[in-house]
Amino acid sequence: MKKRATVLGGGLVGLTMARELASDEAYEVTVADSSATNLSRLAGLPRLTPRQADLGNEEQLRSAIGDADVVLGALPSRMGIRTWETVLRAGKRYCDISFLPEDPLLFDEMAKEHGATAVFDCGVSPGLSNMMVGFARSQLDDAERAEIFVGGLPRARHWPFQYKAPFAPSDVIEEYTRPARMREQGQFVVKPALSEPERIEVSGVGTLEAFNTDGLRSLLSTMDIPNLREKTLRYPGHIEIMKVFREIGLFGCDPIDIQGTWIRPIDVCSKLLFPKWKLDECEPEFTYLKVEVVGIRDGQGTRHVFELFDEFDSKRKMSSMARTTAFPCVIVAKMLAEGRVAGPGVLAPENIAGFPDLFNEIVSQLRDRGVRITHCVERVA
């Protein structure tokens, strides 16, 4: 009997998830979204059923997931908590990429009470980055430092922003406003977003600029590593523009009075930025992820370095950010549907990577889909 999967959200990543799942004849896939335009992109594709629904409405959400063996979440972060509560109370297996403002581990008791198993933050970063850190930690006797560098960028730089967003500008803007949580010398530290810029060289790309962002998420509570940080990558020059926008209040969430109309600056800013930041159809772009974990193995200093570099798939007309975000979620969702991930409860991606066989299989399946990850282990002084 075929397994039934429901994908919540029909945006760029959600549709990529759906198409990838439906390429497996063992699955029948429903995609639920409020946009008829998004759903129209699925017309005529085998094993795919579009379903127009207001997923902010609990009754419609429950109906959309009613017969699903596994649910995949690709909704905006603002819809996250209500979706999680509904899906877990329905006792579903759930794999999600939504960047919940709340700590998903707080839902563990709810999941266990209702017999649900859920994996959160299962994209590229957080997601694959967590798995890399978790796997490296499992191979070390002790760990001292873990660093994550990640970015998705267009191949061509365009004035003035030198950036285009593969997802909603409002979610990108959070990277420029949300304080970055990290760990230094065993102490929990919070630093401003966009802080501590540094330049790094990426083979085949050139110089990129990295800045502190709040993407460590569950790693801060699950990993006993005294030095942890994540940085996001942009072309040089972008950081200064975003700092100016932030300082003059364009990212503000408190409404201001404009001739009798109360408007949030961030809404206006997002509306204006979207056409400037939107990737053109089939525009070449790339995703780069580097994770470095340093520690001790058998009394010797050891460094694990993972690198992922993925580009726009011109044959399938699929963006690298959609691929690298959707594919890990699809692979883990199928593991959930097949009962290969222990539950019930809520799991972070690094929990899965603590089992080397599962992590190696995820890497292998990504390679089969054209997403290659290199892993180097070296001795250090």
* Closest-CA residue to 269 (of 376, 143, 170): 170
Residues carrying CATH 3.40.50.720, the chain: 3-123+321-371
What residue ranges of the chain have pLDDT lower than 70? 166-170
In the prediction, which pLDDT does 49 show? 93
Q: What is the pLDDT of residue 78?
A: 77
What does the pLDDT read at residue 356?
80
What is 128-311's CATH superfamily? Answer: Dihydrodipicolinate Reductase; domain 2 (3.30.360.10)
Report the DSSP pairing between strands 180-184 and 187-191. Answer: antiparallel
Q: How many of the other CB atoms lie within 10 Å of CB of 174? A: 18
Q: Letter for the amino acid at 233?
A: L
Q: Which residues contact 45 (CB under 8 A, 6 or more apart)?
A: 19, 22
Strands 187-191 and 27-33: unpaired
Sheet with 70-73, strands from edge to edge, namely: 48-52, 27-33, 3-8, 70-73, 93-96, 117-119, 345-347
Tokens of 11: 């945006």
The span from the CA of 45 to the CA of 378, in Å, is: 46
Q: What pairing do the DSSP bridges indicate for beta strands 227-234 and 256-258?
A: unpaired
The confidence score (pLDDT) of residue 166 equals 66
Q: What is the pLDDT of residue 94?
A: 97
Give ranges for CATH 3.30.360.10 in the chain.
128-311
* Contact (Cβ atoms closer than 8 angstroms) between residue 269 and residue 275: no
| Distances, alpha carbon 211 to alpha carbons 37, 161, 206, 334, 370, in Å | 36, 16, 17, 34, 29
pLDDT single digits (tens) 69-113: 999 999 987 777 889 999 999 999 999 998 887 889 999 999 999
pLDDT of residue 99: 81
Pick the CATH number of 3-123+321-371 from 3.40.190.10, 3.90.850.10, 3.40.50.720, 3.40.50.300: 3.40.50.720
